Structure 1
Amino acid sequence: MRTGLFLLMFLLAVGAYAQTTVRGNVSDENGVPVPAANVVIVGTTVGTTSDFDGNFVLETSEVPPFELQITSVGYSSTNITITANNQNVSITLSESQTYLDEVVISASRTPERLFESPVSVERFGLKEIKNTSAESFYGGLQNLKGVDINTNSLTFQSINTRGFASFANTRFMQLVDGMDNTAPGLNFVLGNLVGMSELEVQSIEILPGASSALYGAGAFNGILFMNSKNPFDFQGISAYFKTGFTQQDAAGTNPYYDFGIRAAHAFSDKFAIKANFSYLSGEDWHAVNEEDLNNPGATRADPNYDGLNIYGDEVNTLLNFDQAVGLPSGTLGSALVSRTGYAESDLLNYNAQSVKTDFSIHYRPFANDFEIIYNGRVGRGNTIYQGANRYAIRDFTLQQHRLEFRNKNFFVRGYITSENSGNSYDTRFAAINVNRRWKGDVEWFTEYAETFIGARLGVGTGIQLPEDQAHAIARQVADQGRLVPGTPEFQRTLNSVISDGDFNTGAKFIDKTKFRHADANYNFSHLTSDVMDVMIGGSFREYELNSAGTIFTDIDGPIKYNEYGAYLQLQKELLDDRLKLTGSVRYDKNEFFDGFFSPRLSVLGTLGQDRNHNIRVSVQQGFRNPTTQDLFIGLNAGRAILVGSAPDNLDRDVRTFELTPAGQAITGSPTSTIVGRAAYENAFSVSSVQAGAPQAIETPLVQPEEITAFEVGYRAQIGRVAIDLSGYYNTYDNFISNTNVLVPLYGQAGDNALSLLALQNGDVEVYQNYTNSPADVESYGATIGVEAKVLGDFDFGINYTYAEFEFDQASFPDFRTQFNTPNHKVKASFGHTQLFKNFGFNINYRWSDAYEWQNTFADGPIPSFSVLDAQVNYAVPSFKSVFKLGGSNILGEDYFSAVGTGIVGSIFYVSWTVNP
């Protein structure tokens, strides 16, 4: 059927014919060709783009005279009149003095100059992509002011703005051609692992802060918009090839490859197609931190050692040696003993990979701006995700399929996003169950205890060994015959474990979750502009959770639920267009929660005789619905059991635990069955137990999170200097986060009887709940950026970001905010696009202040770090090519932005781009 539709559209397309041909060349004031300049017939969407040499050919059914508008990012636009068929024209573009003239769409869902945006917005266009010194355009985004990137993996970088960052960043949204790029089951974006090829990107816009009034529940802390090139405007075949190497202290030097190709063709002014393919491969950043965060300075010689990037040693038990042999208490004592673990490098290969493909059909039935688009995107990759544990993401696939109808005044689109976890697995449970496949916990700990007791008492030797030597011999005996990494026996066992989806015996997680989404927007401005600009829109989404019980409590079949929303925006310009008022409101409803209104009001005032200063003020309310995992997760993560708080989820999670001998004597049973509800209704707070005064706690079920955001900003263009500064203040209600609690395996928390015995005997389990903070959370910060032309035509930029939050920890000791953002950041850039003919360069520097990292895997300090990236490029017009030599973190000082991740090293590369 799809083939038939393609042929039909092709036949319709070739039936059209051009009556007028215009040929031309676009260059700058120095006579250098300007590639990828847009050439559009004024009043229509009919146009083309210039090639690498600045040449273009426009064929149209328009009859002269008509006017062409020629635009390119970084240049002022110009118009030229076409008076005859087969006319040849030469166009010279003047370089724009400011990025503030660039057009953005995201802030108000309608085109407007960045200078006139009512809220803060960052833009990264074709010029910036070409000149980025990072190894990829996505990595180059971290040079924008107010933007943070936390590196989880070579192929997984997590973007965030205005604090509260994590790799599972559910507060930040990423849209690719209007489609939410979130992995439906994971609830977050995997960077650009399955996103867009750099050849396909036309522009990127980032809205820092809350944007719920126009974009709904997911637009809570910021949005990234990736917009692709239209095949009507960007035609031809282009390609790039990068090769080089990564360098890291822990992993040494390893090869790095990145390749992409794009093909686009407009068969007529009605029909066009495009396709993209890209492939990236390299050695991932190795995680080799063996520190025991709970016992700093400890080594494996400690009986209860638990190394950060050592897995399997989380399995421990309290061995009471006196009780085991009937000796008086205090004779041999007792000790917490953990099993011997495996290093992360024993459990996975560090082959990072990303493969992205997409295909689009664009049809304009009336040869005007009304367009019908089908777009299919498929991405597959290998990466590492750090959440509660470190997850080896292997052969992960994300698909998106979109059908859209649009013109300059409206769009209606529907798409489906689905993921397949492939062969992904949990490295912690891989280690735990490799150990258990070899020797069960009971047998191992029994051997350990028997050996320790014998060594201490001198059984068979008559020599009573010191405690530390007895522990060493006990571990040696219990580990006899242990599977050794690199041997065929170890690999066979590991392969068996990571293909088993039952975390009691395996480590594989299964996820085929999807969501279906539809949204629409209509801008009435062409009808109402005499009064005000009016816009309406809405959206609907249905989730379908499908993990076969390995992540969610969907053991009996997929879980479905939905949400919807609608919005209205009014915009009016007054006082000779010096005052712009924008008001918008959105209503959203999730089937589990009450509906929520998100209003936004902004005022923009333009000042100065040359209209080169403006001040903006905005206030808005926003909200964030609990994620699929907040509601329906049911996962034993090793350190804690995660239970979502949807009302019908509390009874879905049922687990059986083995009791200690003391517990068995009390209950008369070897096991205890616990339902997830106990984590919310029958538990002790962790902080009270640590303080020695156990207190029962009931955890409220999670509710939507709310924000009230205030922002004030100033923009100015003063000669060749552009200034953009802003400050914000956010208050949060019902702030969503996690708390850990201790669930007794018998008794009722607070009964001062059985439950206290359970604590005493170690018959407790750690559960992680999803809830809201009863205390207020506040965050505030500021950014200032300066862009200037200096020393002639050199580009110089510098920006500074300040971020801070406040939270009354004493009012909720077990609450974790996970702000995870440095107080201070400084970024600077210096470069020239044409230092001499066809030669350019760019240097980027970033400094980050030290900060505290808090997340489910581990907490700890992040030292301050500095990073220097640089590139030089040389264009060869005769080959339509650009060659680039560059590197990120070229000073070679390894750093990390989160506790437990691989240490980020350097990437050095050379690239060749044809017809960029």
Structure 2
Amino acid sequence: MKKIYDLLFPFLLVALVSVNAFSQSNNTVSGNIKSTINNENIAAVSIIVKGTGTGTYTDDKGNFKLSGIKKFPATLVISSVGFAPKEVLVTSNSSSVSVVLDPTSALAQDVVVAASRLPERILESPVTIERVSSTAIRNSPALSYYDIVGTLKGVDIITSSLNFKTPSTRGFNGSGNLRLNQLVDGMDNQAPGLNFPVGSMIGPTDLDVDNMELLGGASSALYGPGGMNGTLLINSKNPFKYQGLSAQVKEGVMHIGDNARSASAYNDVSMRYARALSEKFAFKFGVQYIQAKDWVAQDYSNFNRGNNPATGKTIPGSRTDDPNYQGVNVYGDETSLDIRKPPSTGDPGTPFLQGVVAASPNPQQFAAILAPYLTNGAINVSRTGYKEADIIDPTTKNLRFSGAIHYKITPSVESSLSANWGSGTTVYTGSDRYSLRDFKMAQYKLEFRHKNWFLRGYTTQEDAGKSFNATATSQLFNEGWKRSFNPANAAGSWYPQYAAVFATGAATTYQTAFVAAKGAGQTDQQAAATAQGVMLANTAAYHSAARTYADQGRPEPGTPQFTKIFDSVAARSISNGGGLFVDKSALYMTEGQYNLTDKVKFAEVLVGASFKRYVLNSGGTIFADTAGRIGINEVGASFLISKRFFKDVLKLTASTRYDKNENFKGRFTPRFSAVITVAKDNNLRLSYQTAYRFPSTQNQWINLVIGGGIRLIGGLPQLRDFYNFKGNPVYTVESVQAFAASGNPALLKQQTFGEYKPESATSYEIGYKTLVGGKLLLDAYAYYTKYENFIGRTTALQSSNGTIPGLLNYKIYSVSVNSTEKVNTQGWGLSAEYLLPNNFSINANAYSDEIKNVPANFITYYNTPKYRANVGLANSGFLYKKRVGFALQYRFQDAYYYENDFGAGNVPAFHTLDAQINFKMPAIKTMIKLGATNLTNHYYTTAFGNPNIGGLYYVALAYNVF
């Protein structure tokens, strides 16, 4: 922390020096702003004294009061999104101004910042960018602003649960995407330890979001490491501009026709209040609470995960016909053993079929009868698992608080102290399905902002609460009610019981059939062959009987016995033999930026710097931090220059950024772009962009056992040293399999590890944007990206006891590594937005992404459909006094193959239709909305192993939102 304060102090000093007595006069102008439509007051209108930084906004009644005018006459510049701007001349102190604004098309007039960190019209952006306004949020049928992002060109959404959604762009989708920066009011909203973005769980409420800007493509040059495929900026409302009380109640119903849940309620209540107590001081606070029964992951396909779930496959079979059945969304059945193996003192936890034979009254005869089972390959048997609905609380809850205090130190320097806090219960898909219970995260920020510079410092504090790993907890739960094998009580253990009943059933069938065959006149040899055939034909029955017997006493979900045992396991940390993962990691960040344009004159110039520190604290449950917290420091600096040529026909921009992580070499990421104005409102854009990401905190330091006993470890050499890869080498999967089949140790091949590096990308993009007749906005882009040092995982096998024979009973490691191969991706996107008469509008987009030149057996985790499309139709006001509005939004997504540490498989194509109709009551500032997401209730899933999503139908009552 001291380093942060040391960096922060010089900037604070600059801000305080800027105060210089706040020397403004008492000249004051007040007034009111109305719309020509129905003569309604307009809130949040900007009023600025032309040529100065002095300004204010109208309140929720359309009134304003502006002080600090140095001299008269003065010109007021009055502007608001959706209205034509006006200039009004005031000539004397205490003037009262009444202004009426005319509605106008705002198409392509939006000003964006994300594209180059400089304000510019979206039409002139040097790269592909999308913007969502507060008006679009209000009129959308989507449940939240996060869902709206999924309708933008180039965007995919992965839904792990009702309240956990991850947007991605340009491929490599997944829960907790690490290649897309997400910044909320400038703060990175990625959980520092768990590594997933939590913008849908904490941050501003729906009522407090001013706008969102999505920058597709490489953006590390502007926003630092992580922006491989894009950056999403979410900006909340300033309390000086947006004042008053706003509230919304949204009640709905979901799970209609759901075979895993009965129909249940959806509850969403939110409120925002903001007030400017003076021209210098304003505050705001907001709260939102969501509660519902969540969607259920219910893929019960038989999944063979092998040595790596990302290369696993679904196979035929179910619990009734496969003794080794392991369901995708069934947990606890990952415990699997071969019951035919003989006892081994080296592995006392393994039960064996030969142990039953040896303990029988006539072992030789018993062995002869069971010979086909003892010698003809493995008989793998899995423990009986539990469905997700049995072990994970279906109730999703999310409580969010946000607040801020703003103080204008001078008319041009505004300070703010803000906080976002959220707590929730939901489900997340990562390397496993995780039940996030009482998860908490908070962000606190101090910021100073001037039109030419800003300085901010913030911290992110994470607490995983009572969250647990579904697989590990279920496996341990099974061990809690009955051990798989207990040397001190073999007869009371699950696998010995299973093996005994299986062997007894097979032997009994054999003997009965043998006697019958002899009675029919067959010879001993003939009778033995007949009996063996009958025995083998009834193998499924022995497995069924064995499982029924071994499962005696198995707790049923919902019973006191089940709850007592399961909760005790879920409450113990992973490091103490439970399923609870502890995570109280933190992030500390300081950054600043200065616009030197006013000083250098000849071009627009920006400089910036940042310092970041992660503090990992999982108590050994996620990271290799049993000996204490792990710190990771990063520093960065950036430079941008932009210049217009040939009477603004050509705009060139160049930028670069340098970042250094203490565990990796420093990296430069340059970017060059050109915008060519072909004709008025017709712009061609070209860009060369580079990006990279340092391996995430988990990529670096994870140390976690997942399903199948696979241990995930980070890519830093310290972890390989900890597991003695030098003294007890690890080998490739293929070579160990070849050794096991042949017994020839010469076939073994050691797994090697090169230098662990940041992942990098180089991208080329061309785009064209045009506004036709002020009514039709067209945008198109195409890109090509090359990836190097691709961060993935490789599986390595290690002897259980340090000897070559010990490789027959190996340990499995999944190690984070860089690929030596280069991977290329390419794609395109088209969009159109057309303003029709009488407030109707239509929009459509289509886009495609695909990966090229993928090496054989290389796991890309690309997880991206080739084709997607969105079509929307809306009206902001028609029929009775133009108070009725509606919106329809259709989405299509192509089928694709999904790879993840949790599993891999096909995701079917789907299409959805969202809709809403609303009625406005301006006299009481109220709007009522009737809406639905997935109106047709066509259930679909967005990723392998994730839940099926059905329709949600709601009615919303909102106050002071328009």
TM-score scaled to structure 2, two decimals?
A: 0.87
- Offset at residue 505 of structure 1 (A): 2.9
Which stretch has the larger CA shift, 818-827 or 58-67?
Answer: 58-67
Q: Distance in 1 between matches of 2:635 and 2:751?
A: 34
The within-5 A match list for 1:568-587 is 568-587=639-658
Quickly say closer, same or farther: Cα 1:17–1:316, change in 2 above 3 A. farther
Quickly say closer, same or farther: Cα 1:246–1:694, change in 2 above 3 A. farther
- Offset at residue 642 of structure 1 (A): 0.4
SS of the aligned residue for 1:651 comes to helix
The answer as to whether partners of 1:725 and 1:784 remain within 8 angstroms in 2 is: yes
| Equivalent position of 2:373 in the other structure | 332
| Equivalent position of 1:643 in the other structure | 713
| Equivalent position of 1:626 in the other structure | 695
Q: Distance in 2 between matches of 1:909 and 1:18?
A: 51
Give the partner amino acid of 1:636: V
Q: Distance in 2 between matches of 1:687 and 1:310?
A: 31
| Equivalent position of 2:628 in the other structure | 557
| Equivalent position of 2:394 in the other structure | 350
Identity %: 36
The within-5 A match list for 1:232-247 is 232-247=240-255
The answer as to whether partners of 2:373 and 2:379 remain within 8 angstroms in 1 is: no
Matched, 1:877 2:922: yes
Q: Distance in 1 between matches of 2:292 and 2:54?
A: 42
Q: Distance in 2 between matches of 1:117 and 1:843?
A: 28
The answer as to whether partners of 2:145 and 2:206 remain within 8 angstroms in 1 is: yes
Q: Distance in 2 between matches of 1:323 and 1:262?
A: 69
Quickly say closer, same or farther: Cα 1:482–1:13, change in 2 above 3 A. farther
Answer with 1 or 2: which has the greater Rg. 2
SS of the aligned residue for 1:288 comes to coil
Please, which of 758, 771, 796 is the counterpart of residue 842 of structure 2? 796
Give the partner amino acid of 1:298: G
| Equivalent position of 1:6 in the other structure | none
Q: Distance in 1 between matches of 2:199 and 2:283?
A: 26
- Offset at residue 462 of structure 1 (A): 5.3
- Offset at residue 38 of structure 1 (A): 2.9
Please, which of 832, 836, 844 is the counterpart of residue 786 of structure 1? 832
Please, which of 268, 275, 288 is the counterpart of residue 285 of structure 2? 275
SS of the aligned residue for 1:913 comes to strand
Matched, 1:886 2:935: no
Please, which of 785, 789, 792 is the counterpart of residue 730 of structure 1? 785
- Offset at residue 252 of structure 1 (A): 3.1
The answer as to whether partners of 1:67 and 1:80 remain within 8 angstroms in 2 is: yes
Q: Distance in 2 between matches of 1:621 and 1:14?
A: 43
Please, which of 650, 661, 672 is the counterpart of residue 590 of structure 1? 661
Post-superposition Cα deviations, 1:735-758, rounded to whole Å, max 9, x if no partner, equal: 11122333332456xxxx536xx3
The within-5 A match list for 1:378-417 is 378-417=421-460
| Equivalent position of 1:112 in the other structure | 120
Q: Distance in 1 between matches of 2:52 and 2:371?
A: 89
Q: Distance in 1 between matches of 2:769 and 2:38?
A: 30
Matched, 1:303 2:353: no
| Equivalent position of 1:447 in the other structure | 497
Give the partner amino acid of 2:262: G
| Equivalent position of 1:842 in the other structure | 887
Quickly say closer, same or farther: Cα 1:904–1:826, change in 2 above 3 A. same
RMSD, aligned α-carbons: 2.5
Please, which of 693, 696, 706 is the counterpart of residue 760 of structure 2? 706
- Offset at residue 27 of structure 1 (A): 0.8
Quickly say closer, same or farther: Cα 1:686–1:154, change in 2 above 3 A. farther
Q: Distance in 2 between matches of 1:160 and 1:902?
A: 18
Give the partner amino acid of 2:391: L
Q: Distance in 2 between matches of 1:157 and 1:486?
A: 29
Q: Distance in 2 between matches of 1:483 and 1:507?
A: 18
The answer as to whether partners of 2:60 and 2:242 remain within 8 angstroms in 1 is: no
| Equivalent position of 2:275 in the other structure | 265
Q: Distance in 1 between matches of 2:92 and 2:726?
A: 78
Post-superposition Cα deviations, 1:202-236, rounded to whole Å, max 9, x if no partner, equal: 11001111111111112221111011111111111
Post-superposition Cα deviations, 1:137-159, rounded to whole Å, max 9, x if no partner, equal: 22112111111111111111101
Give the partner amino acid of 1:557: G
The answer as to whether partners of 1:689 and 1:695 remain within 8 angstroms in 2 is: no
- Offset at residue 30 of structure 1 (A): 6.6
Please, which of 824, 830, 836 is the counterpart of residue 873 of structure 2? 830
Give the partner amino acid of 1:432: Q
Q: Distance in 2 between matches of 1:690 and 1:617?
A: 52
Give the partner amino acid of 1:619: Y
Give the partner amino acid of 2:628: G
Give the partner amino acid of 1:641: R
| Equivalent position of 1:717 in the other structure | 771
Structure 1 regions of 5+ residues with no counterpart?
1-11, 655-674
Post-superposition Cα deviations, 1:826-847, rounded to whole Å, max 9, x if no partner, equal: 1111111112322211111111
Post-superposition Cα deviations, 1:788-833, rounded to whole Å, max 9, x if no partner, equal: 11255311111110110114332xx2x3111111111111111111
Which stretch has the larger CA shift, 272-281 or 451-460?
Answer: 451-460
| Equivalent position of 1:859 in the other structure | 904
Please, which of 751, 755, 767 is the counterpart of residue 697 of structure 1? 751
The within-5 A match list for 1:112-261 is 112-248=120-256, 249=258, 250-261=260-271
| Equivalent position of 1:739 in the other structure | 794
Post-superposition Cα deviations, 1:304-347, rounded to whole Å, max 9, x if no partner, equal: 01011110000011111664426368433340011111111111
Q: Distance in 2 between matches of 1:359 and 1:127?
A: 22
Q: Distance in 1 between matches of 2:94 and 2:931?
A: 43
Q: Name the one with the larger helix percent.
A: 2
Q: Distance in 2 between matches of 1:131 and 1:48?
A: 27
Please, which of 617, 637, 651 is the counterpart of residue 566 of structure 1? 637
The answer as to whether partners of 2:762 and 2:786 remain within 8 angstroms in 1 is: yes
The within-5 A match list for 1:18-33 is 19-28=27-36, 31=39, 33=41
The answer as to whether partners of 1:699 and 1:769 remain within 8 angstroms in 2 is: no
Q: Distance in 1 between matches of 2:45 and 2:849?
A: 38
- Offset at residue 48 of structure 1 (A): 4.1
Q: Distance in 1 between matches of 2:91 and 2:867?
A: 57
Matched, 1:315 2:315: no
Matched, 1:820 2:863: yes
The answer as to whether partners of 2:303 and 2:325 remain within 8 angstroms in 1 is: no
| Equivalent position of 2:409 in the other structure | 365
Which stretch has the larger CA shift, 384-393 or 240-249?
Answer: 240-249
Give the partner amino acid of 2:718: D
- Offset at residue 242 of structure 1 (A): 0.9
The answer as to whether partners of 1:286 and 1:903 remain within 8 angstroms in 2 is: yes
- Offset at residue 71 of structure 1 (A): 2.4
- Offset at residue 650 of structure 1 (A): 2.5
The answer as to whether partners of 2:184 and 2:199 remain within 8 angstroms in 1 is: no
The answer as to whether partners of 1:378 and 1:399 remain within 8 angstroms in 2 is: yes
The answer as to whether partners of 1:47 and 1:58 remain within 8 angstroms in 2 is: no
TM-score scaled to structure 1, two decimals?
A: 0.91
Give the partner amino acid of 2:782: G
- Offset at residue 688 of structure 1 (A): 7.6
Matched, 1:495 2:567: yes
| Equivalent position of 1:473 in the other structure | 545
| Equivalent position of 1:457 in the other structure | 507
Q: Distance in 1 between matches of 2:705 and 2:727?
A: 15
Give the partner amino acid of 2:719: N
The answer as to whether partners of 1:51 and 1:915 remain within 8 angstroms in 2 is: no
Matched, 1:599 2:670: yes
- Offset at residue 190 of structure 1 (A): 2.6
Q: Distance in 2 between matches of 1:360 and 1:516?
A: 19
| Equivalent position of 1:60 in the other structure | 67
Quickly say closer, same or farther: Cα 1:15–1:572, change in 2 above 3 A. closer
Q: Distance in 2 between matches of 1:473 and 1:565?
A: 64
Q: Distance in 2 between matches of 1:183 and 1:678?
A: 36
Give the partner amino acid of 2:214: I
Post-superposition Cα deviations, 1:41-79, rounded to whole Å, max 9, x if no partner, equal: 3344554444556x2222423265322223222333322
Give the partner amino acid of 1:774: T
Which stretch has the larger CA shift, 822-831 or 296-305?
Answer: 296-305
Q: Distance in 2 between matches of 1:282 and 1:687?
A: 50
